[in-house]
Amino acid sequence: MPALRLSPTSLLLPCLFLLLLWARPTHAFGAGNIASTAAIEGQNWRHGDIEDTLLNLLCTSLHGGKKFKKMDVRRVYFGNWLRDYSQAVDVGALKMVSAEAVRLLLWILGFMTFGYGTGEFEVTKERLGCYRPEEHIDNPKDYADNLDAREYDERLRGPVDEEVELAVDERTGMKNYIANERAGIETSAGLVRRLFGRSIELYRRYNRSGDKKDRYEALRLLGTGCHCLEDFPAHSNFTELALIELGERDVFPHVGRRTKQEIEGVEHPVYPLITGTFGGVDFLHSVMGEFTDKAAQSEVSELEGAISDAQKNREASSKIKELLDKLPSGILGGGESGKADELEQNATAAQMENMDINPKDPEAFVVQMEQLSSQIMPILEFHDGIMKSISIYIDKLPVIPDMIEEFQDNLNIFVFSLIAPFILPVIQQVSAELKTGSSEVIQSSVDQQHVVFNDDHSSNPTHSMLSKDHFSNILNEPAGKVASQVLKWVVPQIVECWDNEDIDADRTIQRIIAGVFHHPAKREYGDDGASKGRQLMFEVVRKWWEDHSEREQDDLREKLSRDGVENGLNHREGVHDSGHGCGKPIAMPKMGSSSGGGAQSGGVSQGGEPFDRVSQLAGEAVGGGALGGLVGGFVNNVGSSLLGGAFGGNTERQESSGYGDDGSYNRSYSEQGRSGDNYGQAEYSRSEYPGGRGHREEYSRQESSGGGNYGESRYESSYQSYESSESR
């Protein structure tokens, strides 16, 4: 245990500051903002991609069955999304600022992500909750430095009983905190039982009463429970253990050499099924993802200015009023232009108050945050009311798509410009903790990352070493496919319970828990149909492995071996992603999309360009990855551009957008820069395809000196929805 160990949220508020900066109001509301989608190989998965599986499933078994609508998937994913960001409410953050301030920032972030911020999409204190290890199946070892976190928030968990919670259940081969509900401790299995039970209860009540609030809450709770189930293959060594069961004995199981033990019903000793411990470095790795130093540098500089620009945007005000008047009568209730005037006046008055935000004065700060929330709510209600009204009549509107998009873009920019005077003081004050947090991280030890290599008896690896959350991990694909298969097996059973009160909900939930939470060595076991779920999960891993050629399997064996993992070979070089969700940038969703950008935009990958040595060393000093990108980016803060700031301000940019013959919406950017004899040009383009068929991105860059080329790089990636890949 190092002398200084960061809690999962000791850097959280700086991270939220970055997340909000990265949600650009000028371009992030459109389809063409510069994304950080990685140069990917094969299929890549995050929670948002997995949730898109629901689009192929029935959300009701009544009247012949109806599939989940995209808006319903968004409601489910909201519950899923909240669980990732509930990590914001933990000891590290609560030592510095109130939980209400964190909620306020996440509320705005949720508004940007989902396109709505009120009603079923409001980030309330109750919905957000707080960090609970069992929600993510995190190993609770050394949580809160073994102090009682409930002193900061009574909803946080108490000290860990390592002897009980971290022990391996000899019946299942899993750590007790995962699914041993007989041990008298908090478990992920118990959490899923409560969430799905409540979801079924509320949906059945909706069927009787017709109260849509119950239905929306049932959908959110479904997403919350599914998040935990999806984390099982992503956060555990399930895939490695399945490969070992397939005969690949040299695959590293992420535990010490001497941790094998006998478990009930299995003839041979097995390594335990475990998940990772979650510290400060792991929080950044999980929420921020891996991004290059340059990506962090460029985005922060550019987007900080963009938020200020939105605040000063006077054109958006008159433009939105003009567009409101153009909409056909009967769609809106009337008087929206006057409401826009009123909201603008209120925002101006708040800005003139120049309220002093002091996060160090807890009581006064809570009052200030509550006041800000009450001022922001009417603005979001104005936006959501208009967008929901339009969504109802979208198919009937006698207007061209360009007008709808223009209206949505201007409404979003206008609304964000109104929010700016309320939210910017909070961001600016809270972000003052950034330098302190970064310096603490630089001093922290990364020895804990290698504990299972140094201790043959350890079964407590770190989350960042073990998890498959990020595209760079070569097991991200099979883990994501397993999670998708889990949803395809689980959700129809929940839906049947929603619609048929004669079905025993408790029995169904028990089958689900036993079918998902299991050791691959016990895949043939499971009562009452649970074995079906286990076998489906195992077959996904088998198929993924067997789909590789012998040469590819040999390459995977090397990368997944003990030495390969210790040396980082299990991560693809040059692959970077940023955060949770679908791998999309944060953006206000367009009409018809299932969700907003589920990932945080970290800027265009700067493929192959030489990093500044100072920022590189700073990043390496804290272990690289997301943390290195964060620290390195602030050590050397370069202005943003497609050219990475290489030519200072001597650049010219062009932008174009429009619809293609195939119905795609295309947006492109280009930039040229010159400094003395040095010349560079870069281009970025993005195409969004209709019908949920995904998008495609391209980035290219050339630089020359004295007439000769000295650097060239190219970035290309595509995202295809699960639905479209199945239909091909």
Task: Kindly tell me if the per-residue pLDDT of 271 is higher than 80.
Answer: yes
Q: What is the dihedral of CA 715, 720, 722, 723, to 10 degrees?
A: 180
Q: Which stretch of 257-266, 458-467, 585-594 has the lowest confidence by average pLDDT?
A: 585-594
* pLDDT value for 374: 87
Residue 713 pLDDT class (50, 70, 90 cuts):
very low
Task: Kindly tell me if the per-residue pLDDT of 526 is higher than 60.
Answer: yes
Q: Which stretch of 83-87, 412-416, 701-705 has the lowest confidence by average pLDDT?
A: 701-705
Q: What angle do CA 474, 519, 283 make, to 5 degrees?
A: 50
Task: Kindly tell me if the per-residue pLDDT of 631 is higher than 80.
Answer: no
* pLDDT value for 53: 72
Structure letter (DSSP) for residue 445? -
Structure-model confidence comparison of residues 111 and 136, the more confident one: 136
Alpha helices in 446-566 (DSSP H): 451-454, 463-466, 476-499, 505-516, 530-546, 550-560, 562-566
* pLDDT value for 232: 98
Mean pLDDT of the chain: 73
The per-residue pLDDT for range 290-319, each reduced to its tens digit, is 322 222 333 333 334 445 555 555 566 667
Decide: residue 222, CB within 10 A, 0-12 exposed, 13-18 middle, 19+ buried: buried
The per-residue pLDDT for range 328-341, each reduced to its tens digit, is 655 665 667 677 77
* pLDDT value for 635: 30
**Percentage above 90 pLDDT, the chain:** 39
**Percentage above 70 pLDDT, the chain:** 59
Task: Kindly tell me if the per-residue pLDDT of 231 is higher than 50.
Answer: yes
Structure-model confidence comparison of residues 403 and 551, the more confident one: 551
* pLDDT value for 9: 41
The per-residue pLDDT for range 155-168, each reduced to its tens digit, is 999 999 999 999 99
Q: Which stretch of 40-49, 361-370, 528-537 has the lowest confidence by average pLDDT?
A: 40-49
Structure-model confidence comparison of residues 594 and 265, the more confident one: 265
Q: What share of the chain is helix, strand, coil (3-state, %, to 5)?
A: 55, 10, 35
Structure-model confidence comparison of residues 624 and 78, the more confident one: 78
Residue 28 pLDDT class (50, 70, 90 cuts):
very low
* pLDDT value for 576: 54
Cα–Cα distance list, 602 to 18, 165, 626 (Å): 9, 37, 11
* pLDDT value for 430: 57
Supply 718's token pair: 């595509």
* pLDDT value for 311: 55
Q: Which stretch of 13-27, 75-89, 113-127 has the lowest confidence by average pLDDT?
A: 13-27
The per-residue pLDDT for range 496-509, each reduced to its tens digit, is 999 999 999 999 99
Task: Kindly tell me if the per-residue pLDDT of 76 is higher than 70.
Answer: yes
Q: Which stretch of 128-137, 356-365, 518-527, 659-668 has the lowest confidence by average pLDDT?
A: 356-365
Average pLDDT of the segment spanning 94-98 = 73
Residue 69 pLDDT class (50, 70, 90 cuts):
confident
Residue 665 pLDDT class (50, 70, 90 cuts):
confident
Task: Kindly tell me if the per-residue pLDDT of 21 is higher than 90.
Answer: no
Q: Which stretch of 248-257, 525-534, 652-661 has the lowest confidence by average pLDDT?
A: 652-661
Q: Which stretch of 63-67, 197-201, 524-528 has the lowest confidence by average pLDDT?
A: 63-67
Residue 626 pLDDT class (50, 70, 90 cuts):
very low
Which residues contact residue 71 at a Cβ distance below 8 angstroms, ignoring those fewer than 6 apart?
391, 594
Side-chain-facing half-sphere of 575: CA atoms under 13 Å: 19
Residue 642 pLDDT class (50, 70, 90 cuts):
low
The structure's pTM equals 0.72
* pLDDT value for 56: 75
Structure-model confidence comparison of residues 672 and 663, the more confident one: 672
The neighbour count for residue 709, using CB atoms within 10 Å, is 10
Give the burial string for 263-276 (b: 16+ CB within 10 Å, else e): beebeeebbbbbbb
Structure letter (DSSP) for residue 270? B
Which residues contact residue 133 at a Cβ distance below 8 angstroms, ignoring those fewer than 6 apart?
139, 140, 143, 157, 177, 186, 278
Average pLDDT of the segment spanning 588-612 = 40
